[in-house]
Amino acid sequence: MPTPDPVALAQALIRCPSVTPEEAGALTLMQSVLEAAGFACHRLKFSEAGTPDVENLYARFGSAGPNLCFAGHSDVVPPGDDAAWSHPPFAADIIDGILYGRGAVDMKGAIACFTAAALGYLKEHGGDVSGSISFLITGDEEGPSINGTAKVLKWLAARGERLDAAILGEPTSIERVGDELKIGRRGSLNVDLLVSGKQGHSAYAHLAENPIPKLARIIDRLSTTRLDAGSAHFEPSSIEATVISVPNRASNVIPSEARAKINIRYNDLWTRDRVEARVHEVCAEAAREVGARYALSFESTGDVFLSKGGPLVSTVIDAVAAVTGTAPKLSTGGGTSDARFIHSYCPVVELGLVNKTIHQVDESTPVSDLEHMTEIYAMVLRRYFGAARA
Protein backbone atom coordinates (compact mmCIF):
# COMPACT_ATOMS: atom_id res chain seq x y z
CA MET A 1 0.00 0.00 0.00
CA PRO A 2 1.54 3.34 -1.05
CA THR A 3 2.40 5.81 1.72
CA PRO A 4 2.80 9.40 0.46
CA ASP A 5 5.37 11.79 1.84
CA PRO A 6 3.34 14.56 3.57
CA VAL A 7 5.73 17.26 2.36
CA ALA A 8 5.58 16.17 -1.28
CA LEU A 9 1.81 15.80 -1.10
CA ALA A 10 1.45 19.27 0.46
CA GLN A 11 3.55 20.69 -2.38
CA ALA A 12 1.44 18.96 -5.00
CA LEU A 13 -1.77 20.27 -3.43
CA ILE A 14 -0.44 23.83 -3.17
CA ARG A 15 0.43 23.71 -6.87
CA CYS A 16 -3.29 23.27 -7.59
CA PRO A 17 -4.49 26.93 -7.52
CA SER A 18 -7.86 26.05 -5.96
CA VAL A 19 -9.02 29.54 -5.00
CA THR A 20 -12.66 29.30 -3.91
CA PRO A 21 -14.71 27.91 -5.64
CA GLU A 22 -12.25 26.41 -8.16
CA GLU A 23 -11.29 22.76 -7.73
CA ALA A 24 -8.16 23.24 -9.89
CA GLY A 25 -7.14 19.61 -9.61
CA ALA A 26 -6.79 19.43 -5.82
CA LEU A 27 -9.66 16.99 -5.27
CA THR A 28 -8.65 15.01 -8.33
CA LEU A 29 -5.20 14.59 -6.83
CA MET A 30 -6.64 13.49 -3.49
CA GLN A 31 -8.98 11.04 -5.19
CA SER A 32 -6.13 9.43 -7.12
CA VAL A 33 -4.03 9.05 -3.95
CA LEU A 34 -6.88 7.59 -1.91
CA GLU A 35 -8.23 5.27 -4.59
CA ALA A 36 -4.73 3.84 -5.05
CA ALA A 37 -4.81 3.01 -1.33
CA GLY A 38 -8.16 1.22 -1.57
CA PHE A 39 -10.55 3.97 -0.51
CA ALA A 40 -14.03 4.11 -2.08
CA CYS A 41 -14.28 7.69 -3.36
CA HIS A 42 -17.31 9.82 -4.19
CA ARG A 43 -17.02 13.14 -6.01
CA LEU A 44 -20.02 15.20 -5.01
CA LYS A 45 -20.98 18.38 -6.84
CA PHE A 46 -23.67 20.53 -5.26
CA SER A 47 -25.51 23.58 -6.55
CA GLU A 48 -27.82 26.25 -5.23
CA ALA A 49 -29.26 29.34 -6.86
CA GLY A 50 -27.16 32.43 -6.31
CA THR A 51 -24.04 30.50 -5.27
CA PRO A 52 -21.25 28.86 -7.27
CA ASP A 53 -21.29 25.12 -7.90
CA VAL A 54 -18.85 23.32 -5.62
CA GLU A 55 -17.06 20.00 -5.88
CA ASN A 56 -16.44 17.89 -2.79
CA LEU A 57 -14.83 14.54 -2.02
CA TYR A 58 -15.90 11.83 0.40
CA ALA A 59 -13.68 8.77 0.67
CA ARG A 60 -13.89 5.77 3.00
CA PHE A 61 -11.77 2.73 3.77
CA GLY A 62 -13.79 -0.02 5.47
CA SER A 63 -17.50 -0.42 6.08
CA ALA A 64 -17.74 -1.19 9.80
CA GLY A 65 -17.87 1.19 12.72
CA PRO A 66 -16.52 3.18 14.33
CA ASN A 67 -15.94 5.55 11.43
CA LEU A 68 -13.24 8.14 12.19
CA CYS A 69 -13.42 10.99 9.70
CA PHE A 70 -10.67 13.45 8.80
CA ALA A 71 -12.31 16.62 7.51
CA GLY A 72 -10.90 19.66 5.75
CA HIS A 73 -11.03 21.98 2.78
CA SER A 74 -8.96 22.12 -0.37
CA ASP A 75 -10.08 25.62 -1.33
CA VAL A 76 -7.94 28.62 -0.42
CA VAL A 77 -8.34 32.38 -0.25
CA PRO A 78 -6.88 34.49 -3.08
CA PRO A 79 -3.14 35.16 -2.79
CA GLY A 80 -3.50 38.91 -3.20
CA ASP A 81 -0.64 40.65 -4.99
CA ASP A 82 1.61 37.91 -6.36
CA ALA A 83 4.49 40.38 -6.54
CA ALA A 84 4.32 40.89 -2.78
CA TRP A 85 5.22 37.24 -2.15
CA SER A 86 8.83 36.29 -1.54
CA HIS A 87 8.10 33.11 -3.49
CA PRO A 88 5.24 32.52 -5.97
CA PRO A 89 2.06 31.64 -4.04
CA PHE A 90 1.41 28.42 -5.96
CA ALA A 91 4.99 27.28 -6.56
CA ALA A 92 5.28 25.45 -3.21
CA ASP A 93 8.95 26.32 -2.88
CA ILE A 94 10.93 25.01 0.09
CA ILE A 95 13.58 27.47 1.24
CA ASP A 96 15.73 26.80 4.29
CA GLY A 97 13.30 24.17 5.54
CA ILE A 98 10.19 26.35 5.11
CA LEU A 99 7.38 25.48 2.67
CA TYR A 100 5.83 28.58 1.11
CA GLY A 101 2.48 28.76 -0.64
CA ARG A 102 -1.18 29.61 -0.37
CA GLY A 103 -2.79 26.81 1.60
CA ALA A 104 0.44 25.60 3.21
CA VAL A 105 -1.20 26.09 6.61
CA ASP A 106 -4.88 26.67 5.79
CA MET A 107 -5.20 23.86 5.15
CA LYS A 108 -3.56 21.78 2.44
CA GLY A 109 -0.67 21.06 4.77
CA ALA A 110 -2.99 19.36 7.26
CA ILE A 111 -4.74 17.42 4.48
CA ALA A 112 -1.35 16.08 3.39
CA CYS A 113 -0.48 15.19 6.98
CA PHE A 114 -3.62 13.26 7.82
CA THR A 115 -3.57 11.53 4.45
CA ALA A 116 0.00 10.35 5.02
CA ALA A 117 -0.89 9.32 8.57
CA ALA A 118 -3.95 7.33 7.51
CA LEU A 119 -2.19 5.53 4.68
CA GLY A 120 0.77 4.84 6.91
CA TYR A 121 -1.55 3.37 9.54
CA LEU A 122 -3.23 1.12 6.97
CA LYS A 123 0.16 -0.10 5.73
CA GLU A 124 1.31 -0.67 9.30
CA HIS A 125 -1.74 -2.88 9.98
CA GLY A 126 -1.99 -4.57 6.59
CA GLY A 127 -5.24 -2.79 5.81
CA ASP A 128 -6.91 -4.24 8.92
CA VAL A 129 -8.89 -1.50 10.64
CA SER A 130 -11.24 -2.09 13.55
CA GLY A 131 -13.75 0.19 11.90
CA SER A 132 -13.38 2.72 9.07
CA ILE A 133 -11.26 5.72 8.13
CA SER A 134 -12.91 8.38 6.03
CA PHE A 135 -12.12 11.77 4.50
CA LEU A 136 -14.54 14.65 3.93
CA ILE A 137 -12.83 17.30 1.82
CA THR A 138 -14.82 20.30 0.64
CA GLY A 139 -14.05 23.03 -1.86
CA ASP A 140 -16.35 25.56 -0.19
CA GLU A 141 -15.03 26.44 3.28
CA GLU A 142 -13.47 29.77 2.31
CA GLY A 143 -16.56 30.70 0.28
CA PRO A 144 -20.29 30.78 1.11
CA SER A 145 -20.08 27.35 2.81
CA ILE A 146 -23.40 26.38 1.29
CA ASN A 147 -22.54 23.68 -1.25
CA GLY A 148 -19.80 22.04 0.78
CA THR A 149 -19.57 20.20 4.08
CA ALA A 150 -23.17 20.83 5.14
CA LYS A 151 -24.54 19.16 2.01
CA VAL A 152 -22.04 16.30 2.10
CA LEU A 153 -23.18 15.51 5.64
CA LYS A 154 -26.82 15.50 4.52
CA TRP A 155 -25.87 13.21 1.63
CA LEU A 156 -24.19 10.82 4.06
CA ALA A 157 -27.19 10.80 6.38
CA ALA A 158 -29.57 10.15 3.47
CA ARG A 159 -27.62 7.03 2.51
CA GLY A 160 -27.48 5.83 6.11
CA GLU A 161 -23.77 6.41 6.53
CA ARG A 162 -22.61 7.42 9.98
CA LEU A 163 -19.61 9.35 11.25
CA ASP A 164 -18.66 8.39 14.80
CA ALA A 165 -15.97 11.03 15.34
CA ALA A 166 -14.26 13.71 13.28
CA ILE A 167 -10.98 15.59 13.33
CA LEU A 168 -10.94 18.85 11.41
CA GLY A 169 -7.49 19.94 10.28
CA GLU A 170 -7.94 23.68 10.75
CA PRO A 171 -4.73 25.47 11.86
CA THR A 172 -5.31 25.59 15.60
CA SER A 173 -1.73 25.60 16.90
CA ILE A 174 -0.36 28.89 18.24
CA GLU A 175 3.40 28.59 18.84
CA ARG A 176 4.16 24.95 18.14
CA VAL A 177 2.33 22.04 16.56
CA GLY A 178 -0.23 20.53 18.90
CA ASP A 179 -0.18 23.21 21.59
CA GLU A 180 -3.89 24.02 21.18
CA LEU A 181 -6.92 21.84 20.50
CA LYS A 182 -10.28 23.36 19.67
CA ILE A 183 -13.17 21.52 21.30
CA GLY A 184 -15.95 23.96 20.40
CA ARG A 185 -16.82 27.34 18.94
CA ARG A 186 -19.02 30.24 19.92
CA GLY A 187 -22.21 30.72 17.94
CA SER A 188 -22.29 33.44 15.30
CA LEU A 189 -25.36 35.53 14.53
CA ASN A 190 -25.60 38.34 11.97
CA VAL A 191 -28.13 41.11 12.55
CA ASP A 192 -29.40 43.52 9.90
CA LEU A 193 -30.78 46.70 11.48
CA LEU A 194 -32.78 49.18 9.37
CA VAL A 195 -33.89 52.54 10.75
CA SER A 196 -36.45 54.42 8.65
CA GLY A 197 -36.75 58.19 8.39
CA LYS A 198 -38.14 60.82 6.03
CA GLN A 199 -36.05 62.32 3.27
CA GLY A 200 -35.71 66.07 3.12
CA HIS A 201 -33.43 69.07 2.65
CA SER A 202 -30.85 69.41 5.43
CA ALA A 203 -31.64 73.17 5.67
CA TYR A 204 -35.26 72.30 6.52
CA ALA A 205 -34.62 69.52 8.98
CA HIS A 206 -37.92 70.13 10.75
CA LEU A 207 -39.68 68.88 7.61
CA ALA A 208 -37.70 65.64 7.51
CA GLU A 209 -36.78 62.82 9.90
CA ASN A 210 -33.10 61.94 10.09
CA PRO A 211 -32.55 58.20 10.73
CA ILE A 212 -28.78 58.46 11.18
CA PRO A 213 -28.59 59.72 14.82
CA LYS A 214 -31.34 57.28 15.75
CA LEU A 215 -29.38 54.42 14.23
CA ALA A 216 -26.29 55.64 16.08
CA ARG A 217 -28.16 55.55 19.41
CA ILE A 218 -29.31 51.98 18.83
CA ILE A 219 -25.84 50.86 17.73
CA ASP A 220 -24.28 52.45 20.79
CA ARG A 221 -26.78 50.73 23.07
CA LEU A 222 -26.13 47.35 21.46
CA SER A 223 -22.36 47.80 21.50
CA THR A 224 -22.31 48.66 25.20
CA THR A 225 -24.61 45.81 26.20
CA ARG A 226 -22.71 43.18 28.17
CA LEU A 227 -24.19 39.77 27.55
CA ASP A 228 -22.07 37.81 30.04
CA ALA A 229 -18.61 37.46 31.58
CA GLY A 230 -17.79 34.17 29.88
CA SER A 231 -18.28 30.57 30.97
CA ALA A 232 -16.13 27.62 31.98
CA HIS A 233 -15.06 26.83 28.41
CA PHE A 234 -15.89 30.03 26.51
CA GLU A 235 -14.79 33.66 26.47
CA PRO A 236 -17.46 36.38 26.91
CA SER A 237 -20.12 36.84 24.26
CA SER A 238 -19.72 39.97 22.14
CA ILE A 239 -21.82 42.34 20.05
CA GLU A 240 -19.90 44.18 17.32
CA ALA A 241 -21.12 46.68 14.71
CA THR A 242 -19.39 45.78 11.44
CA VAL A 243 -21.12 47.84 8.71
CA ILE A 244 -22.96 51.17 8.60
CA SER A 245 -24.51 52.21 5.29
CA VAL A 246 -26.66 55.13 4.15
CA PRO A 247 -28.01 55.28 0.56
CA ASN A 248 -27.17 58.94 0.10
CA ARG A 249 -24.57 60.80 -1.97
CA ALA A 250 -25.77 64.35 -1.44
CA SER A 251 -24.40 66.24 1.56
CA ASN A 252 -27.46 68.51 1.79
CA VAL A 253 -30.08 65.74 1.81
CA ILE A 254 -31.36 63.95 4.88
CA PRO A 255 -31.70 60.29 3.86
CA SER A 256 -34.82 58.17 4.16
CA GLU A 257 -33.10 55.25 5.85
CA ALA A 258 -29.89 54.10 7.51
CA ARG A 259 -28.72 50.54 7.95
CA ALA A 260 -26.20 48.66 10.06
CA LYS A 261 -24.90 45.11 10.27
CA ILE A 262 -24.07 43.64 13.65
CA ASN A 263 -22.21 40.41 14.37
CA ILE A 264 -22.79 38.62 17.66
CA ARG A 265 -20.58 35.81 18.99
CA TYR A 266 -22.33 34.00 21.82
CA ASN A 267 -21.19 31.30 24.22
CA ASP A 268 -22.92 28.33 25.82
CA LEU A 269 -24.80 30.54 28.28
CA TRP A 270 -27.04 31.52 25.38
CA THR A 271 -29.15 30.03 22.62
CA ARG A 272 -29.84 31.73 19.32
CA ASP A 273 -33.46 32.41 20.33
CA ARG A 274 -32.40 34.04 23.61
CA VAL A 275 -29.81 36.20 21.85
CA GLU A 276 -32.38 37.39 19.32
CA ALA A 277 -34.84 38.16 22.11
CA ARG A 278 -32.18 40.21 23.94
CA VAL A 279 -31.37 42.17 20.77
CA HIS A 280 -35.06 42.97 20.33
CA GLU A 281 -35.25 44.20 23.94
CA VAL A 282 -32.20 46.46 23.64
CA CYS A 283 -33.28 47.92 20.30
CA ALA A 284 -36.83 48.55 21.47
CA GLU A 285 -35.61 50.43 24.57
CA ALA A 286 -33.21 52.63 22.59
CA ALA A 287 -35.77 53.23 19.84
CA ARG A 288 -38.36 54.45 22.33
CA GLU A 289 -35.92 57.04 23.66
CA VAL A 290 -35.37 58.62 20.23
CA GLY A 291 -38.65 57.76 18.51
CA ALA A 292 -37.01 55.46 15.96
CA ARG A 293 -38.86 53.28 13.49
CA TYR A 294 -36.76 50.21 12.86
CA ALA A 295 -36.74 46.64 11.58
CA LEU A 296 -34.50 43.68 12.44
CA SER A 297 -33.57 40.53 10.58
CA PHE A 298 -31.27 37.72 11.70
CA GLU A 299 -29.05 35.15 10.01
CA SER A 300 -27.15 32.44 11.86
CA THR A 301 -23.79 31.23 10.55
CA GLY A 302 -23.34 28.61 13.26
CA ASP A 303 -24.65 27.60 16.68
CA VAL A 304 -22.50 27.35 19.77
CA PHE A 305 -21.19 23.84 20.45
CA LEU A 306 -18.80 22.05 22.76
CA SER A 307 -17.25 18.61 22.48
CA LYS A 308 -16.34 17.74 26.04
CA GLY A 309 -15.43 14.43 27.55
CA GLY A 310 -15.92 11.23 25.59
CA PRO A 311 -13.29 9.12 23.86
CA LEU A 312 -12.48 11.53 21.02
CA VAL A 313 -11.25 14.45 23.11
CA SER A 314 -9.29 12.30 25.54
CA THR A 315 -7.79 10.23 22.71
CA VAL A 316 -6.54 13.31 20.86
CA ILE A 317 -5.18 14.90 24.05
CA ASP A 318 -3.28 11.71 24.88
CA ALA A 319 -1.97 11.39 21.31
CA VAL A 320 -0.64 14.96 21.27
CA ALA A 321 0.99 14.48 24.67
CA ALA A 322 2.59 11.22 23.56
CA VAL A 323 4.23 12.88 20.53
CA THR A 324 5.04 16.35 21.88
CA GLY A 325 5.46 15.66 25.58
CA THR A 326 2.82 18.25 26.49
CA ALA A 327 -0.97 18.07 26.54
CA PRO A 328 -2.67 20.67 24.34
CA LYS A 329 -4.54 23.65 25.72
CA LEU A 330 -8.28 23.26 25.15
CA SER A 331 -9.81 26.21 23.30
CA THR A 332 -13.10 27.43 21.87
CA GLY A 333 -11.76 30.73 20.51
CA GLY A 334 -11.58 32.04 16.98
CA GLY A 335 -14.15 32.36 14.25
CA THR A 336 -16.36 29.76 12.62
CA SER A 337 -15.26 26.64 10.77
CA ASP A 338 -16.96 23.64 9.20
CA ALA A 339 -17.03 22.09 12.67
CA ARG A 340 -20.24 24.09 13.06
CA PHE A 341 -21.86 21.63 10.65
CA ILE A 342 -20.11 18.46 11.74
CA HIS A 343 -20.94 18.70 15.45
CA SER A 344 -24.62 17.98 14.72
CA TYR A 345 -23.62 14.56 13.35
CA CYS A 346 -20.77 13.42 15.61
CA PRO A 347 -18.22 14.67 18.15
CA VAL A 348 -15.62 16.86 16.45
CA VAL A 349 -12.33 18.49 17.45
CA GLU A 350 -10.01 20.75 15.47
CA LEU A 351 -6.29 20.17 15.35
CA GLY A 352 -3.82 21.49 12.80
CA LEU A 353 -0.68 23.47 12.03
CA VAL A 354 0.56 26.75 13.51
CA ASN A 355 -1.76 29.52 12.33
CA LYS A 356 0.51 32.59 12.36
CA THR A 357 0.58 33.06 8.56
CA ILE A 358 -2.94 32.01 7.51
CA HIS A 359 -4.45 34.24 4.80
CA GLN A 360 -1.24 36.31 4.72
CA VAL A 361 1.31 37.03 2.02
CA ASP A 362 4.07 34.40 2.34
CA GLU A 363 1.83 31.85 4.05
CA SER A 364 4.26 29.16 5.12
CA THR A 365 5.03 26.26 7.42
CA PRO A 366 8.25 24.56 8.49
CA VAL A 367 8.72 21.17 6.86
CA SER A 368 9.39 19.80 10.35
CA ASP A 369 5.89 20.88 11.43
CA LEU A 370 4.37 18.82 8.63
CA GLU A 371 6.33 15.81 9.81
CA HIS A 372 5.34 16.32 13.46
CA MET A 373 1.70 16.87 12.55
CA THR A 374 1.72 13.60 10.63
CA GLU A 375 3.13 11.84 13.71
CA ILE A 376 0.34 13.26 15.86
CA TYR A 377 -2.42 12.19 13.46
CA ALA A 378 -0.83 8.73 13.22
CA MET A 379 -0.82 8.45 17.02
CA VAL A 380 -4.49 9.48 17.11
CA LEU A 381 -5.28 6.63 14.72
CA ARG A 382 -3.34 4.09 16.76
CA ARG A 383 -5.00 5.09 20.01
CA TYR A 384 -8.49 5.51 18.57
CA PHE A 385 -8.59 2.14 16.83
CA GLY A 386 -6.51 0.53 19.55
CA ALA A 387 -9.36 1.30 21.92
CA ALA A 388 -11.81 -0.11 19.37
CA ARG A 389 -9.80 -3.36 19.22
CA ALA A 390 -9.67 -3.69 23.01
Domains and CATH numbers, the chain: 6-185+304-389 (3.40.630.10), 187-302 (3.30.70.360)
> Using the 8-state DSSP alphabet, how is residue 76 labeled?
B
Confidence at residue 277, expressed as pLDDT on a 0 to 100 scale: 98
The residue annotated as part of the active site, out of 55, 106, 140, 141, is 141
164 catalytic? Reply is: no
Average of per-residue pLDDT across 332-359? 95
Strands 132-138 and 293-302: what pairing? Answer: unpaired
> Using the 8-state DSSP alphabet, how is residue 283 labeled?
H
Residue 390 has pLDDT above 60, yes or no: no
- pLDDT band, very low/low/confident/very high, at 19 (cuts 50, 70, 90): very high
Contact 290/195 with Cβ under 8 angstroms?
Answer: no
Type of residue at 112 = A
Confidence at residue 4, expressed as pLDDT on a 0 to 100 scale: 83
- pLDDT band, very low/low/confident/very high, at 294 (cuts 50, 70, 90): very high
Which residues, other chains included, contact 245 with Cβ-Cβ below 8 Å and sequence gap of 6+?
A: 258, 259, 260
- pLDDT band, very low/low/confident/very high, at 386 (cuts 50, 70, 90): confident
Confidence at residue 308, expressed as pLDDT on a 0 to 100 scale: 76
Average of per-residue pLDDT across 368-388? 93
Percent of the chain's residues with pLDDT above 90: 95
Residue 1 has pLDDT above 80, yes or no: no
Type of residue at 265 = R
Contact 349/312 with Cβ under 8 angstroms?
Answer: yes
Contact 318/253 with Cβ under 8 angstroms?
Answer: no
User: Mean of the per-residue pLDDT values for the chain?
Assistant: 96
48 catalytic? Reply is: no
Beta strands in the chain (DSSP E): 40-48, 51-61, 67-73, 94-95, 98-100, 132-138, 165-168, 180-182, 184-185, 187-196, 200-201, 238-245, 253-254, 257-266, 293-302, 305-306, 329-331, 348-350, 364-366
- pLDDT band, very low/low/confident/very high, at 2 (cuts 50, 70, 90): low
User: What's the Cα-to-Cα distance from 35 to each of 122, 148, 371, 383, rounded to whole Å?
Assistant: 13, 21, 23, 25
pTM of the model: 0.91
Residue 388 has pLDDT above 70, yes or no: no
CA–centroid distance for 237 within its chain: 19
> Using the 8-state DSSP alphabet, how is residue 12 labeled?
H
The residue annotated as part of the active site, out of 23, 75, 140, 164, is 75
Please list the residues that pair with 98 across neighbouring strands.
95, 366
